[in-house]
Chain A
Amino acid sequence: MRVQTISRLLLAAMFVLLPQRVSAQFTVYTDLVSFLAATSNPGTDNFENLSITGTTPSPLSRTAGAFGYTATVNTTSFFGAGSTADRWLSTNTATDIVTFGGFGAGVRGIGGLFFGSTASGTFRANTSIMLTARTASGQSTQTLLNTTLGTFLGFVASADLLSLTVEAMQPASGGFAWPTVNNLVIANEVIPEPSTWMLMVTGFGMLVLIATRNRSRRR
């Protein structure tokens, strides 16, 4: 009977854990501090070496701290928006979708400042940006409304990230909006501290103990 009880507990635990293995979970953060607290080894690409006097061909191979990654658009090129003091990554064509990928193993967090820019590469107010993060088993899509230069969004996934796409929602009036990214952050998932592991093991032991005592009382 003791073996049966333990088996039931394990079965119940599997039901809880199974969805996470089949379909990755995403946690979405809207401030950088919380995002950094939920990740480790963050690296930032502030795009300060991008040309802002014209276009740069796609794809780009770049780094954010220790992480290498690629950035691509659907057509041919990126556009250096912003100013000489603060450069942003944007597209040459307003309808292009920026795809960040090629992160390598272990990358589970990605975030940044997302907003719209104008034809001349300056900030465009009231732009909505759609972001989609993907893993091998799922995706999460978020839309940022009326973005500002400081609008942050970060995804933390329970599995390795494959890509993040950034797309501008074209406004009905007031000129087009080009999807624009600044200060892209890439990170690993936070590894639980030893004390956290101890707490989990203790909790599991307590469950076993309670089950054993219940079985003894029924006898």
Chain B
Amino acid sequence: MSGKFRSIVGAGALLALASCGRDASTTAPGSTPSGSAASVAVAQASVRVNEVESNVGTPGDWVEFHNSSGTSVDLTGYVFRDNDDTRGYALPAGTVIPANGFLVLDEAQFGFGLGAADAARLFAPGGTQLIDSYAWTAHAATTYGRCPDGTGSFATTTLTTKGAANDCSVRLFINEVESSGGTPGDWAELYNPTDAAADISGYVVRDDNDAAGYVMPAGTSIPARGFLVLDEAQFGFGLGAADAVRLFRPDGTTLVDSYTWTAHATTSYGRCPDGVGAFVTTAAATRGTANSCSAASADVKVNEVESNGGTPGDWVELYNTGTTAVDLTGYVFRDNDDTRGYTIPVGTVIPARSFLVLEEAQFGFGLGAADAARLFAPGGGTLVDSHTWTAHASITFGRCPDGTGTFAPNATSTKSAPNDCGPVVAPPPPPPQTPADAWPGDGEIVNGDAGGAQFNGNMSGLSYQPLAGLPTGVIWAVRNGPGTLFRLTFINGLWTPSATRSWIGGKPLRYPNGTGDVDAEGVVAVGNAVYVAAERNNAANSVSRNSILRYDITQENAKQLVATHEWNITADLPANGANLGLEAITRVPDAYLVARGFFDESRGRAYNPADYPNHEGALFFVGVEAGGNVHAYALDHATGGFTRIATFNSGFTGVMDLAFDTELGQLWSICDNTCNGRSTVLRIDTQTGSSSLGRFVITRRFERPSGMPDLNNEGFTFAPLAECVNGRRPALWADDGETGGIALRRGTLSCSAF
């Protein structure tokens, strides 16, 4: 009931109070300077931003200044800012940086965090005159620092040296290790990532035994961006199955780099990519050369070649025929000359069913009238695909159809686009399929996010979580690479990752030991936790690691999420490819399972929750891409154990997401464009006498909404019945390919049971 209002002021005549106690130390640009001209001049000459920690420092972010003069400098009133002009921290009275000394400001002092793409700026008193600054676009693995202190340019430091002189020594890496059956014996490879040769005289190499070590002879150096192999015969000890290689500075105690393993690799252990990447089992040992980082993807093809007078020069077009993006880091492109080649740079990715053009200006050599275009796996030893010709094409050479056809002269040049294969030939008719029903919702589909490829692709599982007191809940979304959990809020008709301050940009997902890059494919929210289905660790992406991981989502201030639990069910599942494992997860409450007489296949009788302690009142259903089976697990949250209760098929050869509707008691299984975007609904069979009594059976099959393109949709979720309007409620799909820059698409779903 609305009360009786008696406003004592006219509408629209709201008066503004003068702000009391405004921020005296947060000096905005344009305010009156308070420092003396003399001290400013000294500071300008000698005080510099010297080192920056922007990511989980101790106790938080920090910035270090260096005074390169022989006298101390009073920094009273100087203002420190990040890249935001609207805030700043005025250094308190009496703040002095000693002669040739350092001054550190901690996040707790200046009151704001430093971001992945941010800046550290020092202004003279008053906040308008910039003294020095440094800006960056990504967190450093260590810190950013000047070398030498105060005068040099910024680079990623070797070691963090808060409040002390920067460590300007050359950063060297242990890059590859052969511990079993090398030629002529075990060996370790070092890598120098810099553009200058590195003198490593006196450096010490040890395995896991501190008592022994090999001291590099005087004059030993590693060329710029080059490798140095140390053989067992040199360092005088063998490397074991569970061992380590450690590189120390000449003092014998300062560790430069190390790698520890617990079993011999079938090939070798190597960083991928060289120097900066994590250690993985390589595709092949590459002693003294760039690491062979993964089995080459057979999906990437040479697709079109311009060898004569292209714009701006010769070029080669690659095409990814697969349904997932391929990282081409380290792949090598060559013409018919084995003595030269172009190594594709770090971070080069070719999206699914997309093109990538290599220009002559990149690879550095022209293509001749009788020549070849050859693509090799990282390391350059394994041919992935090639095309050879004996005369220039009048236009270009290209495959028809793209990726799979044979090469022929093209009618037109179609750089970065599908090849012009002449008259359109009708595609073969699709294989007969059982007709499915029309989508039980509106056909109309609209964009669900703001676009602009803001997620950088790879969006996968979705899970809707209602919020008490609000008309719309949140959606939890996982990206499978880099593994990230996003919290999405519905604002102005779009699901946005940027409406919750502590979740902007999402949170990286780690395994329980705090490491790894979780290939997060499915997600389900349960109270203050989310459960993620993952098929592998992206840092070792050739190895299956089918896991259910639990994360505490109340860790609002955490910059990354470390799993509280991991249930690795790989050994319990049929073997499958590392990229064909878990894709989906949902939670089915015991109350539903018991009420419908769910059959426990592990015990051969009706499911009884009491049989499975600490399983938190529900079973978790996971879907596998290879084969499309769904497995129901009881997860013991106390011991980390698990029991597979049941297995059934989703109705598809591959399942991409699962979503259990707790209100209507039906399980949704979603397939992507390998099944034309269809979905199935499954329920527990309760018909007496049925051979499938107590088991999940498919009750309906649906086509995708008529307005939905046939996309690589790997995520699906829907709102609760409370949001129904005219018998429809919101539904959302996630497109792994982020087609057209859009990862999320909105539609509707019926509010009735099937």
Contact = CB atoms under 8 A, between A and B. Distances in A.
A19 B4 contact: yes
Nearest to A38: B8
A31 B17 contact: yes
A52 B111 contact: yes
Interface string A30-72: 1110100000000000100000111101000000000000000
Interface string A122-155: 1100000000000101111000110011111100
Given A55-B502, A74-B469, A93-B500, A85 B556 contact: no
A121 B491 CA distance: 19
Q: How large is the interface on A (under 10, 10 to 19, 20 to 34, 35 or more residues)?
A: 35 or more
Contacts of A123: 86
Contacts of A96: 470
Given A57-B554, A83-B25, A97 B470 contact: yes
Contacts of A103: none
B234 interface: no
A27 interface: yes
B474 A75 contact: yes
A91 to B, nearest CB: 8
Interface string B219-260: 000000000000000000000000000000000000000000
A113 interface: yes
B424 interface: no
B26 A92 contact: no
Interface string B536-571: 000000000000000000101100000000000000
B24 interface: yes
B26 A85 contact: yes
Given A54-B557, A82-B23, A83-B111, A139 B5 contact: no
B189 to A, nearest CB: 43
Given A55-B556, A95-B491, A85 B4 contact: no
B500 A94 contact: yes
Contacts of B489: 93-95
Contacts of B15: 30-31, 152
A82 B474 CA distance: 26
B9 interface: yes
A77 interface: yes
Contacts of A32: 17
Contact of A113 (B5, B17, B113): B17
A79 B556 CA distance: 10
Contacts of B112: 52-53, 120-121
Contacts of A119: 498, 501, 504
Contacts of A52: 111-112
B89 A84 contact: yes
A29 B492 contact: no
Nearest to B108: A53
B498 to A, nearest CB: 7
B338 to A, nearest CB: 53
Interface string B498-511: 11111010000000
A172 B69 CA distance: 52
Interface in B1-49: 1-9, 12-26
A151 B17 contact: yes
B107 A53 contact: yes
Contact of A75 (B467, B492, B557): B467
A74 B14 CA distance: 29
B21 A94 contact: no
A178 interface: yes
A28 to B, nearest CB: 5
Given A28-B7, A57-B554, A140-B3, A122 B20 contact: no
A23 B4 contact: yes
B116 to A, nearest CB: 14
B744 to A, nearest CB: 17
Nearest to A120: B84
Given A53-B60, A85-B23, A86-B23, A26 B500 contact: no
B468 interface: yes
Nearest to A32: B17
B1 A137 contact: yes
Interface string B465-488: 001111010100000000000000
Interface in B100-115: 107-113
A85 to B, nearest CB: 4
Nearest to A144: B14
Contacts of A34: 8
B86 A85 contact: no
Given A30-B15, A92-B501, A85 B24 contact: yes
A168 to B, nearest CB: 10
A7 interface: no
A176 B491 contact: yes
Contacts of A153: 14
A188 interface: no
B499 A94 contact: yes
Contacts of B470: 74, 95-97
A76 to B, nearest CB: 6
Contacts of A92: 500-502, 556
B502 A54 contact: yes
A182 to B, nearest CB: 8
B87 interface: yes
B22 A122 contact: no
B19 A149 contact: yes
A57 B557 CA distance: 10
Nearest to B107: A53
A149 B28 CA distance: 15
Interface string B595-626: 00000000000000000000000000000000
A178 B25 CA distance: 24
A23 B3 contact: yes
Contacts of A138: 1-4
A74 B468 contact: yes
Contacts of A135: 3
11 contacts: A28-B9, A74-B470, A77-B502, A79-B502, A86-B23, A120-B84, A120-B87, A138-B4, A149-B19, A150-B16, A170-B492
Given A93-B501, A150-B18, 9 more contacts: A25-B4, A26-B4, A29-B8, A53-B111, A92-B556, A93-B499, A120-B84, A138-B3, A144-B14
Interface of B: 1-9, 12-26, 60, 84, 86-87, 89, 107-113, 467-470, 472, 474, 489-492, 496, 498-502, 504, 554, 556-557
Interface of A: 19, 23-32, 34, 46, 52-55, 57, 74-77, 79, 82-86, 92-97, 113, 119-123, 135, 137-140, 144-145, 148-153, 170, 172, 176, 178, 183
